[in-house]
Amino acid sequence: MTVALKLILIAVISYLLGSLNFGVLLSRKFENEDVRSKGSGNAGTTNMLRNYGKGMAVLTIVGDMAKVMVAILIAKLIISEGELSTYSIFADNTNIIIKSFAGLFAVFGHIFPCYFNFKGGKGVATSGGMVFMIDWRIALILLTMFILVVLITKYVSLGSLVMAFFYPVFIFVFYKSALLTVIALVFEIIVFIAHRENIKKLINKTESKISSKKK
């Protein structure tokens, strides 16, 4: 199989895994309803927390992080760094390129899941799993930024946007790679598109703050 076909296979598998939205699956299984019909209409961790409590939120975040990690591990089995490095554009940081490529499509699948009418979550937990697999140092920095923003403002969406905004910056600082930075920028754009309604609400000061309705 050629490198191009292997990359296509990785993209498809990662997207399909990313489309397994645990917010929808868990709410249907244990609450007999779709979380997307509740609250913000989002299938992510925050809406699960607001409507079903901490336990369901934890299960959601674990599942959504795990699926992108599995996608990346499968990608590593499909294509080797040696195969990818034969092309000059992929010559440097091939390990990170493979992880970023698979992670990007998993996040895309989470936000636009083919199994659930292309309406999923905002990609925060899935993105976190991706960044952790790519570089734990960047993940730790972004997580710290996220926690501080949420603690200060109580806006999960703002914390998510801050993480997405600075991710390409840290990728460039740590790796000095144009290709990796471009991939990171595409990821940033996807996350910002997923948060477009939140951005409007933040500007209009109508965005909901973090809270939990159930124990």
Q: How confident is the model at residue 212 (pLDDT cuts 50, 70, 90)?
A: very low
pLDDT score recorded for residue 17: 97
pLDDT score recorded for residue 146: 94
What count of Cα atoms within 13 Å lies in the side-chain half-sphere of residue 111? 21
Note the pLDDT tens digit of each residue in 3-58. 889 999 999 999 999 999 999 999 999 999 999 998 878 888 888 988 898 899 99
Distances in whole angstroms, Cα of residue 189 to Cα of each of 107, 130, 168, 185: 12, 16, 11, 6
Whether pLDDT at 134 is above 50: yes
pLDDT score recorded for residue 88: 67
CB-CB contact of 113 with 123 (8 Å): no
Whether pLDDT at 215 is above 50: no
The predicted model scores a pTM of 0.88
- By percentage, how much of the chain surpasses pLDDT 70? 97
What is the SS3 string spanning 39-80?
CCCCCCHHHHHHHHCHHHHHHHHHHHHHHHHHHHHHHHHHCC
Cα–Cα distance measured from residue 52 to residue 30, given in angstroms and rounded to the nearest whole number: 10
pLDDT score recorded for residue 41: 80
Residue with tokens 């600075």: 166
pLDDT score recorded for residue 211: 61
